[in-house]
Amino acid sequence: MGSTFAGRVVAAHGRHCLVEGDDGQRILCHPRGKKNSVVVGDRVRWSHSGDEGLIEQVLERDNLLYRQDEMRTKSFAANLDQVLVLLAADPVFSDMQLARALIAAEAAGIEALIVLNKHDLGAPFEQAWARLEPHRRMGTPVLPLGLKTDHGLDALHARLRGRSTLVLGPSGVGKSTLVNRLVPEAGAQTGEISRALNSGRHTTTTTTWYWMDAERQSALIDSPGFQAFGLYHLEAPELARLMPDLRATLGDCRFHNCTHRHEPGCGLRPHVGTDPASDPLAIDETRYRLYGELFDELAAKPTY
SS3 content of the chain, % helix, strand, coil (to 5): 30, 30, 40
Is 91 among the annotated ligand-binding positions? no
Q: Is 94 one of the annotated binding-site residues?
A: no
Name the nearest CA neighbour of 14 among 200, 171, 267: 200
Report the candidate in 280, 236, 288 with the shortest Cα–Cα distance to residue 258.
Answer: 236
177 in a known ligand binding site: yes
Q: What number of other Cβ atoms are within 10 A of residue 133's Cβ?
A: 12
169 is in an annotated binding site: yes
**Buried b / exposed e across 280-298, counting CB within 10 Å, b at 16+?**
eebbbeebbebbeebbeeb
17 is in an annotated binding site: no
174 is in an annotated binding site: yes
Asked if 207 and 223 touch (Cβ cutoff 8 Å), the reply is yes
Ligand-binding site membership of 120 (annotated): yes
Residue in 171, 206, 212, 175 with CA at minimum distance from that of residue 192:
206
Is residue 29 annotated as involved in ligand binding?
no
Tell whether residue 117 is among the known ligand binding residues. yes
**10 a known binding residue?**
no
Whether residue 260 is annotated as binding a ligand: the answer is yes
The answer to whether 48 is a known ligand-binding residue is: no
- Reference 291, options 265, 270, 266, 272; nearest CA is 272
Confirm whether residue 14 is marked as ligand binding. Answer: no
Do 192 and 18 form a contact (C-beta atoms < 8 A)? no
State yes or no: 266 annotated in a binding site: yes
Does 148 belong to an annotated binding site?
no
Residue 134 assigned ligand-binding role: no
> Which one-letter DSSP state was computed for residue 219?
E
* C-alpha closest to that of 42 among 15, 69, 17: 17
Q: Which residues are annotated as a binding site for GTP?
A: 117-120, 169-177
Q: Which residues are annotated as a binding site for Zn(2+)?
A: 253, 258, 260, 266
Q: Which residues are annotated as a binding site?
A: 117-120, 169-177, 253, 258, 260, 266
